[in-house]
Structure 1
Amino acid sequence: MEKSFKFVGFLLLVGCLLFNGHVRAQRLKDGWLGRQVYRIFNDTASAAAKSFTVYPTFGYAPETGIELGASALQLFRAKNDTLNRLSELQAFAFFTFKAQYGLWLDNAVYGDKDRWFFLGRTRIQRFPLFYYGIGPHTENANHAVVDAFSIAFKQRILRKISKDFFVGPEIDFQQLTGVSFNRPSTSGPTLPLGANGSLNLGLGAALVYDNRHNVLNVRKGFFGELSFLNYSPSLASDYRFSSINLDIRSFHALNKRNTFSWQFFGNFVQGDPPFNQLALMGGDMLMRGYYQGRYRDKNMLASQVEFRMLPFAFSKRVGGVLFGSVATVGPTIDQLHFSNLKWSGGFGLRYLLFPNKDIYIRLDIGFTQEGAGFYIFNGEAF
C-alpha cells in the first residue's frame, strides 16, 4: 500500500500546504464533519489537553484500484500533565472496490512519570503484496502478486528501570491465510517458505533507552532499542527461527526550527523464517520510495538521515524535509556487501496539525533507482 497515491480525501489539506494555511475553515464549524475539518486547520487545544481528530483518505494503486478510508488520531498526556511525554494512538481503516480491506492500529503510550511504556502496532488486512524473491539481486519487472489475509500484532510492555531506560517482554504474532501466488510466468520468483500460509508466535524481550518527549516530532533526543524474539513449534509457531533487532535514532536541534536526525537499523534472522517474516527493505519509514519488501533476506542493515525545517522561516504552519537512506540485505551477516547497497532520497512537505503539540502531517516523496513512492501519515518517519 505504500506505493499507492494517498491523498487526504478533502483537498483543503493540499490548499493549506500550497497557500500557507490561509483557509476560511471558520465557515465550516457547523455540524460534526465541519468541526472535524475546522479542527484539522485550526486546532487550539492546549499542550496538556487531549486531542482527537478524524479525517477521510483517498488512494489509488494498480493492484487495488480505488481505495477509500478514514484515519483517527488521539493525542494525550498521562494525567494531562505537560511534564509527561506525549502519547499517541492512531487508527487507519480502508476498503477498495476489489473487496480488499484493512485496519491499522499504532500505539506509543507513556504512563505517569514514564513508569510504563507501551509500544506496538497491529495490522489486519486482506491486501495484495508484491513478492520479488529473496536476496539483493531480484528483478523488478518479474514479480509475483500475493493475495492473502494477514494479521500482524506486535507489542512491547516496558517498565522504567532508571531514568530513560526501559525493559520488558515483547510479543509478536503473525498469521497469513488464504495465500495465493500469481506469478507472471514460469520464470517468476520460485515459491518461498510459507507460500501456503503460516502462523508464528514469537516471545522475547526488549531493552530501550528513550529520552524523546514528543515521539511524533522529535526536536532533540536519543532512542535506542535492542530486542530479541524467538519463534518455535513449542510456542504454537509453524516455523523455528529467531530475530535480533537493533534500532538507534539521534536527533539534534540546530535552532528553534531546524533539526538534523539520523537512524541506524539492523534486523538479523536465524533459522527458517517464512517469506513474510524476513527482513524487509522499503516502506513509509525507512528506504522511502521502495515498496516494502522490494528486497528481503535474513539480514538487513540500513541507515538514513533527515534535515527538517519545521516550519519554514516564511510560514507558521508549513514546513519541509530532505532525506536520504541506504540499505543492503543478505543471507548472512558477512554477505551484507557494500556493493549491494541500495539508495533512496527525497523530500517532503509538512502541515502543522496541532500547533500546541508540535504535530505535523507529512507528505513524502521518495526516489530510488527504480521509481518513486508517495506517503501521507501523521508524525515523522522516525
Structure 2
Amino acid sequence: MYMEIRRTGISFLLIYGLLISSVWAQGKVVQLAKRILNDTSSAATSKLLVFPTAGYAPETSLEVGIRAFSLFYAKKDTVVNRLSEIVLYSFVTFRGQFGALLENAAYTHKNRYFFLGRARYQQFPLLYYGIGPNTPSSNPALVNSSYIQIRQRILRQVKNNWYAGVEVDFQNISRVSFELDDQPNVELPIGADGSNTVGLGAALVYDDRKNVLNVRKGNFLEAGVLWYRPGFGSDFRYRSLILDGRAYRPLGRPNRVLAVQIAGTFMNGIVPFNNLGLIGGESLMRGYYLGRYRDQNVLAGQAELRWLPFGFSKRWGGTLFAGLGTVAPTVQALQLNYLRWAAGGGIRFLFFQKKDVFLRADLGFTREGTGFYLSLGEAF
C-alpha cells in the first residue's frame, strides 16, 4: 500500500511540475510573485489569491501544492470588524504523500458570529511511537491510512468579546495498516482496524484579537466539551475537554510581541489511537514529530518572543520560542519528571503587507533532535 501511495504521490508531483512549468513559461509566476510581494491594496480590500506554494515539516518533508487564500473584513469595515481568513490548501510531498486542508476563522458584521474550524483529508503514512509519556524513540511503527476530520464551532457573541455556541467533531480513519517489521509482537492500539467517531458539544470562547494570523495585542480563551456516543454515529464512547488560553502583549514597541499559550486536552472513556491528544507538530512543541507523544491527557505551554519586523527592516523579522509539555493516561498521572522541552527560533517575512501576515520558517530543538517548519501565519 505504501508503494501505491508513493506512486500516486509521484504522479501528482509530475502533474504539479508540468502545470507550474507551463505557467512559468508564460511569465505568469513572475507577475504573480510581484503582485503578492508588493501588494499595495488597502487593508479593507478583500484578498483572494490562488498560487503555488511550498512547505516543510518533519512529518511530510518538502511539500508542494496549491493554496487558495482569502482575507477579508465583513462589509470592508476595518474599525469594527476583525480580519477573517479562509484557507484551502492541497499538497503532495516528496515522500509520495498527499492531502488537503480547509481552515476558517471568519466573523460576520460587528463580529456577532464567529465560525472557527477545519476540514482535513490526508492519505499518507505516519510514524506511531506508542501511547504514554515514556515511549521509546527508536523503531516506531509506520501507519498507513486514509484520514478525514471535520471540526467546526458555530459561535454567537454573548457579550463584548465572549462567544458561546455548538461544536461538532467528525473523524474517520480507514484502510489502516501497521508495519511492525522490527516489533512483530507489539499489541495494536484501540482503533487499529479503523474507526468512525462523531462528537457533539458546546464551546465558550473569549476573543479580542484583531488579526488571528498575527496577533500583536489581545487574548484568546477556549473551553470546549465534546461527547462521543454510538447514538451520534460514533464507534466509541468517550468525553473530551479542550482548554486553550493565549495572551499577546507588546513589549515597549508595536513590532515586539510576547505570545504565551497554555493548552490542555483531557479525555475519559475508550478513545481510538488517532483521536488521542498529541504533542509535536508545527503549532505545539515544535521540534517533536507530530504524535511523538500521545495519550488521553495532554498539558503543554509555550512562549514566543516576536520581532515583526526587526527594527532595521520593513519586511524581515524573527522569533525565539520555548515550550514544556507532557501526556498521561489520567489527570492524576501527570508527572513533572515526564515533562518534555522544546525550544528554537525562526525568521519571518512580511508576505501580505497591508494585512500584516508573515511567512514563517522555524527550527525547533528537542532532546531527540530537530524539526524544521515552513508555513504561512504564526504558530499560535
Partner of residue 52 from structure 1, selected from 40, 48, 58? 48
1:215 aligned residue = 212
Deviation, structure 1 residue 204: 0.4
Matches within 5 A, 1:1-382: 32-58=28-54, 67-83=63-79, 84-96=81-93, 100-186=97-183, 189-254=186-251, 255-382=253-380
Q: Would you say the 8 A contact 1:142–1:188 is kept in 2? A: no
TM-score by length of 1: 0.89
Unmatched segments (≥5 aa) in structure 2: 1-15, 18-23
Q: Would you say the 8 A contact 2:59–2:290 is kept in 1? A: no
**Count of matched residue positions in the alignment of Structure 1 and Structure 2:** 356
CA distance in 2, matches of 1:132, 1:80: 47
Q: 1:112 to 1:94 in 2, by over 3 A?
A: same
Q: Would you say the 8 A contact 1:39–1:53 is kept in 2? A: no
CA distance in 2, matches of 1:291, 1:106: 22
TM-score by length of 2: 0.89
Identity %: 51
Deviation, structure 1 residue 339: 0.4
Q: 1:195 to 1:69 in 2, by over 3 A?
A: same
Q: Counterpart of 1:113 in 2: which secondary structure?
A: helix
Deviation, structure 1 residue 62: 8.9
Paired residue type of 1:225 = E
Q: Would you say the 8 A contact 2:285–2:342 is kept in 1? A: yes
CA distance in 2, matches of 1:315, 1:190: 55
Deviation, structure 1 residue 60: 7.3
Deviation, structure 1 residue 72: 2.5
Q: 1:273 to 1:315 in 2, by over 3 A?
A: same
Deviation, structure 1 residue 53: 2.8
Paired residue type of 1:371 = G
Paired residue type of 2:116 = L
Paired residue type of 1:258 = R
Deviation, structure 1 residue 38: 1.1
Paired residue type of 2:134 = H
Deviation, structure 1 residue 52: 2.3
Q: Counterpart of 1:357 in 2: which secondary structure?
A: coil
Deviation, structure 1 residue 187: 6.0
1:13 aligned residue = none
Q: 1:63 to 1:163 in 2, by over 3 A?
A: closer
Q: Counterpart of 1:257 in 2: which secondary structure?
A: strand
